[in-house]
Amino acid sequence: MLQSAYTDALTSAADELTVEVATTPQQAVEAKRLRYQVYCEERNFEPGANGLEQDEYDDASQHVLVRSRASGKVYGTVRLVLSGQGGIDLGFPMERVCDDYVLRPLLRQTTAEVSRFAITRDRDGLSPAAAALMRLCLIRGIVQASGELGLTHWCATMERTLLRLLRSTAIHFEAVGPLIEYHGLRQPAVWELNSGFARIYRELPHVWAFLTHNGAFWPDATIKGRGTFERLARKLG
């Protein structure tokens, strides 16, 4: 019964939303505009300027957007910051606030920081189901981007509320290092993608099918089986 309800909710999200891995400068501008709305106007976290929230890491990032099919409005965005991309190695944003040892074990070339996770409070025009699943849609976008980039790990500094929400969908980030103060308490954390997806497949196969496009976005040979989300994945793609 629970899985059936989740399937219905994912169907609503697929009908109403599209997930985009940005390929154009205009999409990157739309991401920065949505970030301004969330981080500058709604949360008052960042100053922003000229209606955009942006920083020096954006040129070394892969941006993801979630957009309304009906209106074209962008409701959510997230980016993967890639160390050494864009011609200048700026490292990761979290390295400015975390202890040096936190990311030392990771191979930088195959690690990305999940950053600027932003969903607007203004979700007019969306059904409750689609609005509630925006978080999973954004994650689906960075799963697709990570597969294309050959990543092995994600790192992030996250609110503990977001970590709990992710655990409810079998995404268990590993805490590394102490809590830090950055617009409130944040937990530095790491997620190893292969083992993480294997765990999702074991615990919530319908979520695994949705996030990985039935394995097409993450073709790990150790994970077998097919889900029932081909149509949903095609719509959201």
Considering only the top CATH level, what class is 2-236? Answer: alpha beta
State pLDDT tens for residues 179-227: 998 888 999 999 999 999 999 999 998 889 889 988 999 876 455 544 4
Crossing angle for the helix pair 205-212 and 193-203, nearest 10 degrees? 130
Max Cα-Cα span within the chain? 51
Helix (H) / strand (E) containing 159: none
Q: 214: alpha, beta or left, given left = phi > 0 and alpha = psi -120 to 50? A: left
State pLDDT tens for residues 57-76: 999 999 999 999 999 999 99
Amino acid identity at 12: S
Structure tokens at 33: 């505009």
Q: Name the β-bridge partners of 111.
A: 153
Checking if the pLDDT of 77 tops 50, the result is yes
Identify the band that residue 48 occupies on the pLDDT scale cut at 50, 70 and 90.
confident
d(CA 61, CA 200): 26
> Domain map of the chain by residue range?
2-236
Structure tokens at 187: 């937990």
% pLDDT > 70, the chain: 88
